Amino acid sequence: MRKTIKVSNITCAQCAKSIESYFNNLEDMDAKVLVTSKKVIFNYNEEKYDTEKIGNHLRVIGYYPIFNNEEQEKAKKRDFIDLIIATLLTLPLLWTMFVHLGIPIYVPEILMDGYVQWAIATPILFYVGRRFFQATYHQIKGRNLGMDTLVVLGTSAAYIFSIFQTLTYDLNGHHAMPDLYFETTAVIIFMVLLGNFFENRVKEKTSESLQSLISLGAKEARVRRQGKDIMVPIDDVQKGETIIVLANEKIGLDGIVLKGKSYVDEAMITGEPMPAFKEVGSKVIGSTMNTVETLEIEVTAVGSDTVLASIIQTVEDTALIKPKAQRIADKIAALFVPVVVIISIVVFLTWRFVIDGGHELSHAFAPAIAVLVISCPCALGLATPTSISVGSGIAFKEGILYKGGEFFEIANKISAIAFDKTGTLTKGHPELSDFLGDKETLKFSASLEKHSNHPIAKAITDHYQDNYLEVENFEVLLGKGIKGDMHNETYYVGSPKLAKEFNLDLSAYAYETYLRQGKTVFFTFTSKEVINMIAVQDPIKESAKGVIKELKRRNITPYMITGDQELTATYIASQLGIEHVYYEVLPHEKAEKVHEIQKLGNIVAFVGDGINDAPALKMADVGFAVGSGSDIAIDTSDVTLMSLDLGLVIKAIDLSLATLKNIYLNFFWAFSYNIVMIPLAAIGLLNPSLAGIGMGFSSIMVVLNALSLKLFKFKQF
């Protein structure tokens, strides 16, 4: 069972590790955390766990699950109240900080009293800052220290030292305000909360594509139960039930049309602008819009089995992708806190006994606290998920779904792309391309083909727009054609081979020319004469030539791998400018051909329709599945292209490169920040309170940089 639960107080990668390590140690339970959208994806045995039990486990380790909008609003309200309390209590202490910094400004004498500052700082540390203590407890328990640990160490040290100073100086009958750091405790907690507040607002924008996806789903469906049509929540509809969808209503769930004809707008799934015609037996996708007439639909998928749920799951899983750089950063982050604590201790000892000669304890204390507070492992943890969340949102709007794997890392290394022909380079359905003969005779061809279910028959009937003749004694001539009686005459539609069996002269039609162009040729005739010739072809997609040309410009070698015959395959390849062609290849042999290309030293991508091309998609370094919503759950591809536009292959590669560059820029900022700021704090150039501001700023910068991906423009070619 898969369940996604929102958690209100997930702030960074260390929170994710704490949750994952706890749940992954439970039997029959797996958890993955989406930091940017504050969600946890659980996969579990539903016989052992349910939503309530999972919620209780989260609360045990200090995290608050949100199961409905009311709880979400409560969580937001709770965070906002904490921020208001912190603001009101911190401002008086912030006022005293100007004296600490040596700025000549009036400060009321009462605020300079150590006991007053102690009284103000206490609720900030232990009430407003309770979340940091809870998180630190579970981080220590899970041996996974993070930013919360640094906050607790820094603020507690400042608080305890200030109490000691207050009591000591009081015994001597005076106070020395510059030696107190109560304001540091307050300001650090306040700035972290303020930083989290703004960071959460920005993070919401990074996951808005996922939120818009979720909002597409229908909330209710009209279900027929015991002869009555009643509105029920989508979650209560069962597989096999009948739902009734009126015109201009969303289709609640995936299903098959039982009654009615209508046009359904599927643009949100397939990207196709024209509504699709649906009749009895047609498959429909949940959350698409019925536009014309009422449809009765048998539900075939509910919950996580629907197409929309599969898309949402894919987008969620993509945010969990970790390129090599992130995996390295995770290892560094695991060592980060212990190393920072050691540095802080070394800084304290150096200032205490070397630089300051053992005189003023407070002189050594300030830089040590600043080192703890300025350090920020969060930025390292946020570098990848924020960028991938934004990139995935942009991709989805273009009809691209990244599905994981190593695509982000190897997209720039692709040196060869192999294409399936039918349905990938071509449209996948034949169309009538040439007609030779009296146009009136097309009615004989179409009337016969109307009784056939062959794809070529559909090409002719789609082209023919007139009335059909009545056909008697219809018969399929396997491998040759069809025949039937009309107007007291037997008519045939068949291959040149069948026509030659009647010794008919075909020389006037020069049909070999059409065969060399990769077209399928057949004739309509009686036993005495040929009355017309029809040529049918699977047309090349409009975008195919441009894509092949652009790939060559980038020094990426295009290949074609098809099960079609040599004549058709080589002609299509020549039209597109593809020099490397494998033809008459069986589905299971396509993977072998991909492997052959790899053995030439290439990083190979394969583009196929995702059904019979599954072995090749799996064998390739990168698999692109081309198809509409029904193909969305294909496990073997790394990228799913939701429309038939081949240009999405180039766009997917370009956007992944932009995303990877954005990730690396995040890492550069995160590492540079810590490399520069920690030494500055160590040599005493950063006040601990200012360090708290810097820590919050670091994570916000990473998220803002990820949002800059929204400025990415796709190249036109």
Q: Which active-site residues does the annotation give?
A: 420
Q: What's the CA gap between 30 and 42, in Å, rounded? A: 6
Question: To which residue do tokens 């070397």 refer?
Answer: 354
Neighbours of 73 (CB within 10 A): 11
**253 near 243, Cβ under 8 Å?**
yes
3-state secondary structure of 706: helix
Q: What's the CA gap between 373 and 677, in Å, rounded? A: 10
HEC-encoded secondary structure of 417-470:
EEEEHHHHHECCCCEEEEEEECHHHHHHHHHHHCCCCCHHHHHHHHHCCCCCCC
Helix (H) or strand (E) holding 154: helix 147-171
Is residue 711 packed enough to be buried (19+ CB in 10 Å), middle (13-18) or exposed (0-12)? exposed
Q: What's the CA gap between 32 and 24, in Å, rounded? A: 9
Q: What's the CA gap between 300 and 227, in Å, rounded? A: 20
**Short-list 212, 197, 226, CA closest to 75:** 197
Is residue 235 packed enough to be buried (19+ CB in 10 Å), middle (13-18) or exposed (0-12)? exposed
3-state secondary structure of 322: coil
Q: What's the CA gap between 602 and 557, in Å, rounded? A: 9
Q: CA of 609: how far to CAs of 429, 577, 627, 660, in Å?
A: 13, 21, 6, 27
